[in-house]
Structure formats: structure tokens, C-alpha cells
Structure 1
Amino acid sequence: MESLRSLGLRSAANMLQVSVILCWCFITSIRDNNWFFFISILAALIGLMMALRYMPRIYRVIKAKMRFSVHPSREVQEERKRIASDLHDTLGSQLVQALTLMDGQALTEGSPIKEVLERSLLDLRLIVDSMDAQDDSLTMRLARLRHRLDPVLQRKGLALHWQLCDPELGIGRHTSRTLPKGRVAHQILAVVQTSLSNTLEHAHASDIWVTLEPYESDDPECFGWDWCLSVEDNGKGFDLRAVLSDVSQSGHGVINMFKRMREIGGDLHIHPRQGGGTQVMMRWRV
């Protein structure tokens, strides 16, 4: 924070510069005086010194804005793609090799070690997908997530009921509301991934429903929201209050779900599903 002394000097310099400019514009009688000429030069030098002093600060502000911009630079995008490719080619290949070696061993079905490796490989692929598709819409990200999840769901005997609306592709109900892209889509997808991961790991469900629909303006459940995305299962359910009171039970996953939706100005509800199980409902505005 600037001291009062430096603030006073800066204010005095600004007043001097403004006074000189006004005199040059409106008081023509003093333009030819030598003393006014020297004062004008002094005001110009003070302005130059102030500009040089604050130039590094302005540069840092501009650089910070570029770093946290919604649309990253081409260099940042290329670096993300390189990291994603390296993760896929190195760590991903090692996990696949470990699973292949375990398939040749006499392990019982549902071995904890194998399940951890499979989950790790799935999480890695989802991370690579998210890094490699920063500008994709929410439905494109969800479609990629479904593609990655299908083998896991089939192996566990889970039925996935998928119903999405995309006005750009002409799928589902017609609406003028657009789906999010970029950072907002990334945050919503992360909440969906956590919801599905909790279902696969803890719910002991047989069916999962994923539904993405727009709200109509006259919908009594709208409450000013534009879109609703829900993830439901018919599993055993869980006590949300108990999980939130004991962070070790959720591994911060549920808390991060609420945090991600708050960051994009959205809303998250987790409650028991009618007929048994759990419903995770996300809502946001365009």
C-alpha cells in the first residue's frame, strides 16, 4: 500500500500536469513566457518518470490477466496438449502393462489391487481428456466421459440410462439457452465424474441415470436457473450430514463438488432418490 507521502506527491504531480495542459489550451497569454516553458518541460519529465515507475506494475497486472484468462494463449494450449500426451504415453502405458500382467496371474475376480489400477487408469484418461479439450461444450465432454465409463459399467453389470439435451446439435427439447463451454463446463464435468465415481465405489447400485435438460421459463421448479443436470442411482444411498461432518469418509470429494458449483455461480443438491438411492442435482445459469 502506498504511503501518504507518496500519494500526496503523486496527486501534486497530477495537478501540475493538468494545470499545464489547461494553460496551453485556454490561456494563450502565458505561452511565450520562459518560466512557463520550463514548467511545461518539468511537468512532462515528471509524467515520464511516473510512467516509468508504474510500468512494471502495469506489466505484472496485464501478465496476470493473461495468465488467468478464460481463453489461454496458444503456448499454454500447446503445453497442455504436450503434458496430456506425455501422461497418456508414459503413465497410461505403465498402468495398462500392470493390468496385463495381473490378468496373467491367478487373482480372484474383483481383486482390490486390480480395481485400484483400473480406477487409476480411468481417472488418468479422464484427466487427459479434460486437458486436451479445453474449448469443448458440456455435451462433448459428457460424451467422452460416457465412452470412457462404458467398459467399467459393463464389467460391473451396471445399466446406464443417458438422456441429454443439446440445442446446437438439435437433440432433445428445443431451447434458446446455450450450454456452457470452457471453465464452466470443466467444473460441471468434474462434479459429474465425482458423482459417478462415488456411485461405482460405494452405492452398490444396478442402474444409473444421467439427465441434462433446460428449464422452461414457466417451470415451477426453475427458480431462475437455466439448466439442470442430475445423476441418480438406485443404490443404498448415504447420509450427507454424516459425510460432511467427517471429511475422512468423503475424501474431500463431496465438499469439492459444492465448491466447484459455487465457483461458477451454480447450485448443488444431494438428496435421497424416490424409490431408493441418491440423486445429485446440479443447476446453473447461462
Structure 2
Amino acid sequence: MSTSTPPDWHEANRAHWDERVPLHVASDFYDLGGFRAGADALRDFEVAELGDVTGKSLLHLQCHIGLDTMSWARNHGAARVVGLDFSGPAVEKARELAAEIGLGPERAVFVEADVYDAPSAVPEPTYDIVYTGTGALCWLPDIERWARTAASLVAPGGFLYLAEFHPLTDILDDQTGTRVVCDYFTRDAHVSEESGTYAELGAKTVHNRSVEWQHPLGAVVSALAAAGLRLDFLHEHDASLYPRFESFERSGDGYYRFPDTHARIPLMYSLRASKP
């Protein structure tokens, strides 16, 4: 952990996320009405890269309100899914939604716990698939500890799958994405005070202090290898899930990209790492 890490980082981040749960529940971004009606919350490349999950057990770390978690069970046939998140209101909402769509505790379980405490908090010792990503790793100060924790939860013959925003986007200017303005390799904590949320930019919020870290791609891959997992693939994607840069345009497939006049760069990445 960086020496710049403030002592209240965990409490500040949890208060930040707890307050935003009701905003996300009511937002068009999460579209709970569509989800209740059967819409799949997953990205097409995730479904293609994970392959057939029918009959498998799946653990989703840092699951927020659980839409992705439940989609693996309801729409893709996972036998049992477990979602874990440190936000009590998020876990409560995930449990409520699971009951609404008919996923009983034999199919979907949600646990309130810190990700580093997952091995002692989840109901089974290991899972066929450990799944995580899309804005999760930036909230963790110690990527090596995360990798050891996640790897310990993968069953022999199973794998970890991660889909995440590319760390390159963290060092570019917010307007055009053409200038390098931050240090790619810093391990210092980034403390910010910003109201609203990516799902409701103009929302009035009180708990605006948040603490984040950026993790270079090499650090993530190396941490997983050191934890005993074998990298199956690493893919980089030229699309994002939200308008990260002011110059982004929304494509016909629903993703956000730079205009055609901008050179393409990786905006997200995905990887799978197996346990022999």
C-alpha cells in the first residue's frame, strides 16, 4: 500500500458508494425496469470470452447491486452465483432484485464483505469462475493482495476473468484524450471530492470524498502470475462503457469511442487466467 494512502480510505469509499446506491437504482444507466423484464446486463465480449458457463459456480467480487451477477445465472445458465460487495445498501438491493426475478438462495447469494475478506465470507471455499471488473480495481490499494485473494478462490481447473477499464485512460487529459497529464506508474492514492455519479452526473450528493489507485496492466498480470494463475489471454478493446472523455461519441452498438479523427487506443481490457 502506498505511503500516501489516507487512513480513512475504506470508510470514505464505503460512504461514497452507500450514498450512490439509490441513485443508481433509479437511473437510466442501470435500467432496472429493463433488467426485471429480462434484459442481459453483461457486455457481448464478456459473454463470448467466458464461453459456456452452464452448470458452473461463479463468484462475482465487488458486484455492486448484482445485475451482472444475476445475469450469469438467469440468462446464461450458471448453476449458482455468489456476489460480494462491501456496501450494505448495494447488497440489500441485490438480494431484493434476486427475489423479484425468481432467483432463490439456491441460485443466487449476496454477501456483504470487503473483497480482501472474501475467503472467510463466501459460502464455498472455491468456485469454477471468479469474475470481476468494470471499475473495480481502482478502489483497491494493494493489487498483489487482491490477486492472491482472488486466486485462492478459483477451483483447480477453473479460472479468473477480469474485464476492466484500461489504465492508459487514467493518464490522459479528460477533454480530448490526446495529452499525457499523469504518471502511469504512480502508486500514490488519488483523493478526490466530486459530487454526482457516472450514472447521474448532476446528482446532488454529500459523501463526495473518494480514494482511488491506478494499477498498470503489467502490475495486474504479474500479480496474477505470482499468485499461481496461468494467463490464457489478454485482450484490449477500443470501446468504453461510458463517456470517459468529452470527445467520445456513442456508437451504434452502445459503446463509447473516440471520433474517427482520433487515433485508436485501448480503452478497456479483458483477461482470463486459469488455475491448473
TM range, normalised to the smaller chain? under 0.3
The higher-RCO structure (CA 8 Å, 6+ apart) is 2
Normalised by the length of structure 1, the TM-score is 0.25
The structure that has the greater radius of gyration is 1
| Bigger strand fraction | 2
